[in-house]
Structure 1
Amino acid sequence: MFASLLVASGLSLPTADVTSTFPTFVQYSAAAYCNQIWTSGAFNCGIRCSGKLSSTQIIVAANDSATTGAGFVGVNPDLQTIVISFRGTSNPTADGEDLDFFKSNADFQSAKPIDVPNPANSPLPTSLQIHTGFKNTYEGVRQAILPAAANLAAQYPSYQIVFTGHSLGGALAGLAAVDFQNVYGYDDRISLYTYGQPRIGDTNWARYVDGLSIANRFYRVARVGDPVVHLPYNWMGFQHFRHQYEINDDGTTTACSIDSNSGESSSCLNDGGEFNVARHSDYYGWLNGQSTC
């Protein structure tokens, strides 16, 4: 269904090649870094708001000063897509070093949106542990983001619901996609696109995410040599969920093989000798100095 909608809307998507959609949603991730969005509440961010994204209307722009978390909810009638994009951090090392490395239960029950008296599913299992800093940052904008996205989902029943973000924004998008599905459902409409995303939680979290009905539409894109995708480290008890894609030095994007019973990919993550912080902004040209707000 997603493929047919995107093709009809002008996005080229052969059914076997989802990678052709990656530049579109990283553009939304890049737009979330633009201050104009947070000051005006409108999708006004220069070249990053251009092209296929230009018809986007922002419904909510949430910016939490206490945690620096930020995300917007918008609707794009040309792409027939509801988009929820989260801002990353301006400091690449902050994703794994400056935020709290301790883990907390992945349970957002205490912050359930007030307009959902009967959540679609039960609370997330208490055995799931996630990065405390990421959880706190997400909860700073959760109350504004989730209900707005749910209202749009009901208003536009044929539209896909896409969560996206770069770096820290990717971690927040991953939490939001899982949380949204657990609270509201919409299993057949949710997709997740993250770029340069750090690890979010422990092995239990990663395997839980892999088992969700929406997990086959989770796309975790990493640039070869991006150090942030290796944070927090495995030895600290963190693990990625599946479906990693890697952007190679020649500009091509390939699907990574997955190690047995793991979301990790030794074929793609075994590049420790090539780490370069500059590569954390090297995602289809939308996050580096060539693309300004």
Structure 2
Amino acid sequence: MGTRRWVAAAAAVMVALLLLSAASHGGRRGPSFNSNNRTFVFNYTLAKTIVEYASAVYMTDLTALYTWTCSRCNDLTKGFEIRCIIVDIQNCLQAFIGVDHNLNAVIVAIRGTQENSVQNWIKDLVWKQVDLNYPNMPDAKVHTGFYSAYNNTLLRPAITNAVRKARRLYGDISVIVTGHSMGGAMASFCALDLAISLGSDSVHLMTFGQPRIGNAAFASYFEQYVPSAIRVTHEHDIVPHLPPYFFFLPHLTYHHFPREVFPCINLESV
């Protein structure tokens, strides 16, 4: 199956799971995001909106993406204003930044692994940990490949610049960062970076099927700096279980940061 067909199928499955879960809640729909007090609470309307952005960033037709006329640029994201598309050809990375006027928020979406990209697969498989290059985070270690993919490429400076420009134009509105799989890992580092520079109240994160990205110390620091973080996970997806968790190496093994949501189960029963 080609890359685009595989991604489209994965996104369709995720959206279907979200809708089925909503049905199990009696079709509950609530305010998805309160931009006035910047609360970020999971519900299915918000998740379905954000997963559409996480899916659209895989599009290769950049003209359709920039004009927001692509096959995935509709439904709840209709009217989205693209501000910047980032394409790092050398590292096979792609992201976009824009403004969702319904949510009154800047959206940052980062593409995940491309099926035929050697660079992406190498970054996925480099499980070696490296010290996190931020002050006041002693003992925090992170996944070398994912951290490098965000911090040592075009992504970090280009995203930071685009977000600042959007907020200068529209005021200090919130920022929502998203991504799927490897894109979720890079989105997490992006959210942390933006939270440190803009403030924790301004930055929110929702990822889909993301892997673990750091040790226990990192997960603890991440929760402090990005408290508005949601990881949407399907119980049969192997990616969130990678890199593996080794119980006999509690300080070195990879840990997830909170909060995790399983859309395929009745959350009220948990």
Match of 1:287 in 2: none
Q: Determine if the alignment matches structure 1 residue 210 to structure 2 residue 236.
A: no
Alignment match, 1:245: 261
Gaps of 5+ in 1: 7-12, 109-122, 258-293
* 2:221 is the alignment partner of 1:196: no
How many percent of aligned residue pairs carry the same amino acid? 27
2:34 aligned with 1:4: yes
For the residues of structure 2 that align with 1:233 and 1:62, how far apart are their CA atoms? 31
**1:99-114 correspondence to structure 2 within 5 Å:** 99-107=125-133
Residues 206 and 42 (structure 1), Cα distance of their counterparts in 2 relative to 1, 3 Å cut:
same
Contact 2:61 2:70 in 1 (8 A): no
What is the Cα-based RMSD across aligned positions, in Å? 3.0
2:148 corresponding residue in structure 1 = 136
Residue 242 (structure 2) aligns with: 231
Tell whether the 8 Å contact from 2:110 to 2:179 is kept in structure 1 after alignment. yes
Contact 1:191/1:218 (<8 A) preserved: yes
Deviation at 1:200, TM superposition (A): 0.8
Instruction: Please tell me the residue identity of whatever aligns with 1:64.
Output: D
Q: What is the aligned partner in structure 1 of residue 45 from structure 2?
A: 20
User: How much has 1:44 moved relative to structure 2?
Assistant: 3.3
Structure-1 separation of matches of 2:101 and 2:68:
17
- Cα deviation 1:221-240 (Å, max 9, x = unaligned): 00120000100111271110
Contact 1:96/1:228 (<8 A) preserved? no
In the TM superposition, what whole-angstrom CA distance separates every residue of 1:195-251 from its partner, at most 9, and x where no partner exists?
A: 000001111110111223x41x21100012000010011127111001100122xxx
Residue of structure 2 equivalent to 1:272: none
Residues 68 and 80, structure 2, Cα contact 8 Å, conserved in 1: no
Structure 2 residue aligned with 1:268: none
Conserved in 2, the CA contact under 8 Å of 1:246 and 1:256? no
Question: Match of 2:230, as an amino acid?
Answer: Y
5+ long unaligned stretches in structure 2: 1-30, 247-251
Structure 2 counterparts to residues 31-46 of structure 1, below 5 A: 31-37=56-62, 42-44=66-68, 46=70
CA contact (8 A) 1:81 1:159 kept: yes
Q: Deviations over 1:229-283 (max 9, x none)?
A: 10011127111001100122xxx563797xxxxxxxxxxxxxxxxxxxxxxxxxx
Q: Is residue 95–residue 231 contact of structure 1 (8 Å, CA) maintained in 2?
A: no
**1:38-187 counterparts in 2 under 5 A?**
42-44=66-68, 46-91=70-115, 98-107=124-133, 123=135, 125-139=137-151, 140=153, 141-157=155-171, 159-185=173-199, 187=200
Q: In 1, distance between residues paired with 2:129 and 2:268? A: 29
TM-score of the two chains, using structure 1 as the length reference: 0.69
Contact (CA 8 Å) 1:73, 1:85: kept in 2 or not? yes
Instruction: Tell me the CA shift for residue 149 of structure 1.
Output: 0.7
Displacement after TM superposition at 1:150 (Å): 1.9
SS of match in other structure, 2:212: coil
Could you tell me how far 1:45 is from its partner in structure 2? 5.3
Q: What is the rounded CA distance, in whole Å, between the counterparts of 1:95 and 1:256 in structure 2?
A: 37
For 1:3, what is the secondary structure of its paired residue?
Answer: coil
For 1:88 and 1:127, how far apart are their aligned partners in 2?
Answer: 28
CA contact (8 A) 1:96 1:232 kept: no
Q: In structure 2, what residue type is equivalent to 1:26?
A: V
